Amino acid sequence: MKAEVINPFLESARTVIEQVIQVTPSTGSLGVKNMEIIEDHIWIQIGMTGQLTGNIVFGIQEHVALRMVSVMMGGYILTEMDEMGQSAISELGNMISGNASTILSNQGVTVDITPPRVMKSEHIESFLPQKALSIPLLMDGIGELDIQVMIS
């Protein structure tokens, strides 16, 4: 897996988060890690088909996701990730992935994305043992969003 595959998602996530969450994220260190279930996390999974196939997974601590959704909803404070919150965080994943697929298309790479699937850690049996390219986005005052790319 080539590291450049993650760049369109990183670029897109930065842009979308700046627009929607109104914070400029900084980038952590790129690495390869095994997908693992971490407690109190929300996972947004988006499938890709076409010239690149695989999954993009955004991992966010639940309290960070609640902060992000609250900002997206104009300051309305959510205390639990209810249906409305899941819909909003799902849309964030959709916006990031849609924008990334446009960037890929402009680079001559044709991909289609699936609708986002939002999962809470306690409802996931397990991820298949898979390695992912991973890079964290650090949002000052909000928390961290991990972008994990598993593309074959």
SS3 of residue 48 by DSSP:
strand
CA atoms within 13 A of residue 26's CA, in its CB half-sphere:
5
Retrieve residue 119's tokens.
């999962």
Domains present along the chain, CATH in parentheses? 3-151 (3.40.1550.10)
Model pTM greater than 0.85? yes
In this prediction, residue 1 carries a pLDDT of 56
Q: What is the mean pLDDT of residues 62-89?
A: 92
pLDDT in tens, 40-49: 889 999 999 9
CB proximity list for 6: less than 8 A, separation 6 or greater: 30, 133, 135, 147, 149
Q: How confident is the model at residue 2 (pLDDT cuts 50, 70, 90)?
A: low
Query: Which DSSP symbol is given to 125?
Result: -
State residue 40's pLDDT score.
86
| Contact in structure between 23 and 139 (CB atoms under 8 Å) | yes
Tell me the pLDDT tens digit for each residue of 7-61: 999 999 999 999 999 999 999 999 988 877 777 889 999 999 999 999 999 999 9
106 touches 122 (CB < 8 A): no
- For the residues 78-91, what does the mean pLDDT come to? 92
Query: pLDDT, tens digit, for every residue of 99-132?
Result: 999 999 999 999 999 999 998 866 565 555 578 8
What pLDDT is stored for residue 109 in this prediction? Answer: 92
Question: How many C-beta atoms surround the C-beta of residue 83 within 10 A?
Answer: 7
b/e code 45-78 from CB counts within 10 Å (16+ = b): bbebeeebebbbbbbbbbebbbbbbbbbeeeeeb
CB 24 within 8 A of CB 18: yes
